[in-house]
C-alpha cells in the first residue's frame, strides 16, 4: 500500500483529496495545524496536528512515516487578504514550502504534488489560458504560489531523478462531497458561491457584487468553477503519473469555460430558492476580469475524467453542505 503524506489535509480541498486517496486504497497521514481545517474533515488515515513552520516535528513525522509521495495543500488562499498582508502570504505559502522541500531533500523523499493556482497567470492575454502562458500574478497570493513553483522547477532541474513534482493550477474550486460529509468550512468565507449561499441562508444581509464595469459581456468577472471532487480526482491521476515514473509537469485544473458573477448569482438563487439581496459594489483589488483554463493537457496526458462540469450540480452540493456546516463547526 503506497503511503501519502498530506499537508493541509483537514482543509477544504485537502480533505476531499484525502477522501479520494482513502477510497483508492492509499495509506494517508495528514499534517495540519487546524487553523482553517477540522479534525472531522479527515475521513481517512491519521492526523498529526502541527505547524508547517515546526521543522523538527515535520521532519520527525516524515521520517517515521516514510511516504512514497507528499501532497502539499497547507497554504493561505485569500486574494484580498494577500493584498493587505503580503508578508503573511510569502511566509506561509513560499517560505514554509521551501522548508518542507529542504526536509524532503534531507530525507530523500522525492515525489511531490503541489497546490498551485490560476492566480499565477494574473490577467492573461488569452483565455482560456494555457500552462505555457507567461506567469504575471497581480496579487501576492498568486506571486507566493508562483515562487513556490519556481522552487520546484529548479529543484527538479538539479535532481531530475531524485525529485519530481506535479503542480496543479486550480481555477475556482467549489461544491462539496456528494455524500454531504465534508465541504468548505471557513469561519468567514470570501468565495463567491459560499458567500452567496450563506446570504441565501440569511447569514449575511446581502451579497456584494464586486465590479460591474469589467470588459466582459455582462460587466462582471468570469471564472472557471470546478467541482472539488473532480479536482480531487486530478490529484489522483497526477499521483499515479509520478508513482509510475512520470516526469515533473504542470497542469491546469478547470473545465475550460467560465461563468460570470451574475450567472453564478442566478444559479445560487435558483438552487436555494431565495431571492437574496445583491449590492453592486466597486471592484475588489487584485481581481482579473476573466480567467478560464485551457484544460486539454491534463485530460490527454493524465487521462483526467471530470464528472461534474455542471454549475448547478456544484452549487447544489455546496447548498446541501451549507445546511450542515454550522452544526459541524460547533461540534
Residue 221 binds ligand UDP, judged by CB under 6 A: yes
Cell 492509499 belongs to 26
Among the listed residues 287, 294, 315, 319, the single contact to ligand UDP using CB under 6 A: 287
Residue 195 binds ligand UDP, judged by CB under 6 A: yes
Query: What angle separates helix 228-243 from helix 12-23, to the nearest 10 degrees?
Result: 60
Residue 250 binds ligand UDP, judged by CB under 6 A: no
Q: Which three cell numbers stand for residue 120?
A: 499565477
DSSP H helical segments within the chain, as ranges?
Answer: 12-23, 55-65, 79-84, 86-89, 96-106, 140-158, 192-200, 228-243, 261-272, 296-302, 311-329
The one segment of 103-111, 155-163, 189-197, 321-329 that binds ligand UDP by CB under 6 A? 189-197
C-alpha 197/C-alpha 207 separation (Å) is 9
Among the listed residues 207, 238, 239, 318, the single contact to ligand UDP using CB under 6 A: 207
State in angstroms the smallest separation of the CB of 281 from ligand UDP.
8
Of the two residues 155 and 221, which places its CB atom closer to ligand UDP in the complex? 221
Residue 262 binds ligand UDP, judged by CB under 6 A: no
Give the count of alpha carbons within 13 A of 24, CB side only. 18
Of the two residues 41 and 207, which places its CB atom closer to ligand UDP in the complex? 207
Of the two residues 121 and 210, which places its CB atom closer to ligand UDP in the complex? 210
State in angstroms the smallest separation of the CB of 87 from ligand UDP.
20
Residues 58-117, interacting with ligand UDP (CB under 6 A): 79
Among the listed residues 6, 13, 192, 200, the single contact to ligand UDP using CB under 6 A: 192
Using the 8-state DSSP alphabet, how is residue 164 labeled? Answer: E
Among the listed residues 284, 297, 324, 328, the single contact to ligand UDP using CB under 6 A: 284
Residue showing the smallest CB distance to ligand UDP in the complex: 221
The DSSP element (H or E) to which 71 belongs, if any, is strand 69-72
Residue 210 binds ligand UDP, judged by CB under 6 A: yes
Measured CA distances, 103 to 43, 58, 60, 314 (Å): 27, 8, 10, 37
Residue 129 binds ligand UDP, judged by CB under 6 A: no
Number of residues located near ligand UDP, criterion CB under 6 A? 15
Residue 13 binds ligand UDP, judged by CB under 6 A: no
Do 301 and 240 meet the contact criterion of CB atoms below 8 Å apart? no
State in angstroms the smallest separation of the CB of 276 from ligand UDP.
12
152 Cβ contact partners less than 8 Å away, ≥ 6 residues apart: 101, 112, 114, 165, 167, 248
Q: Encode burial over 4-26: b for 16+ CB neighbours within 10 A, e otherwise.
A: bbbbbbbbbbbbbbbbbbbeeeb
Of the two residues 147 and 261, which places its CB atom closer to ligand UDP in the complex? 261
Among the listed residues 261, 298, 311, 325, the single contact to ligand UDP using CB under 6 A: 261
Task: Look at the alpha carbons of 238, 239, 240, 242 in this order and tell me if their dihedral is positive or negative.
Answer: positive
Catalytic residues: 141
Of the two residues 42 and 291, which places its CB atom closer to ligand UDP in the complex? 291
Residues that bind ligand UDP (CB under 6 A): 79, 172, 190-192, 195, 207-210, 221, 223, 261, 284, 287
Amino acid at each position: 500500500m503506497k503511503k501519502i503524506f498530506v499537508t493541509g489535509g483537514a482543509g477544504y480541498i485537502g480533505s476531499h483529496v484525502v477522501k479520494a486517496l482513502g477510497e483508492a486504497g492509499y495509506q494517508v497521514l495528514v499534517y495540519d495545524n487546524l487553523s482553517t481545517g477540522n479534525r472531522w474533515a479527515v475521513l481517512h488515515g491519521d492526523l498529526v496536528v502541527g505547524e508547517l513552520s515546526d521543522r523538527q516535528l515535520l521532519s520527525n513525522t516524515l521520517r517515521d512515516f516514510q511516504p512514497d509521495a507528499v501532497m502539499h495543500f497547507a497554504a493561505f488562499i485569500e486574494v484580498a487578504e494577500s493584498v493587505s498582508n503580503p508578508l503573511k502570504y510569502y511566509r506561509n505559502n513560499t517560505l514554509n514550502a521551501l522548508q518542507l522541500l529542504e526536509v524532503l531533500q534531507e530525507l530523500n523523499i522525492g515525489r511531490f504534488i503541489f497546490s498551485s493556482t490560476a492566480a499565477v497567470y494574473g490577467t492573461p492575454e488569452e483565455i482560456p489560458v494555457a500552462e505555457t502562458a507567461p506567469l504575471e500574478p497581480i496579487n501576492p497570493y498568486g506571486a507566493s504560489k508562483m515562487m513556490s513553483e519556481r522552487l520546484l522547477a529548479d529543484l527538479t532541474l538539479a535532481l531530475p531523478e531524485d525529485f519530481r513534482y506535479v503542480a496543479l493550477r486550480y481555477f475556482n474550486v467549489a461544491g462539496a462531497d456528494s455524500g454531504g460529509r465534508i465541504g468548505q468550512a471557513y469561519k468567514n468565507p470570501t468565495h463567491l458561491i459560499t458567500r452567496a449561499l450563506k446570504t441565501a441562508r440569511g447569514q449575511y444581509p446581502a451579497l456584494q457584487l464586486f465590479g460591474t464595469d469589467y470588459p466582459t459581456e455582462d460587466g462582471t468577472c468570469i471564472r472557471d468553477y470546478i467541482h472539488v471532487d473532480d479536482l480531487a480526482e486530478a490529484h489522483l491521476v497526477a499521483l499515479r503519473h509520478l508513482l509510475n515514473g512520470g516526469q515533473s509537469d504542470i497542469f491546469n485544473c478547470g473545465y475550460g469555460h467560465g461563468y460570470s458573477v451574475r450567472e453564478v448569482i442566478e444559479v445560487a438563487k435558483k438552487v436555494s430558492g431565495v431571492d437574496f439581496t445583491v449590492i453592486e459594489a466597486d471592484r475588489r483589488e487584485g481581481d482579473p476580469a476573466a480567467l478560464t483554463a485551457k484544460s486539454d493537457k491534463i485530460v490527454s496526458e493524465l487521462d483526467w475524467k471530470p464528472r461534474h462540469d455542471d454549475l448547478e450540480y456544484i452549487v447544489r452540493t455546496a447548498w446541501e453542505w451549507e445546511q450542515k456546516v454550522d452544526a459541524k463547526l460547533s461540534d
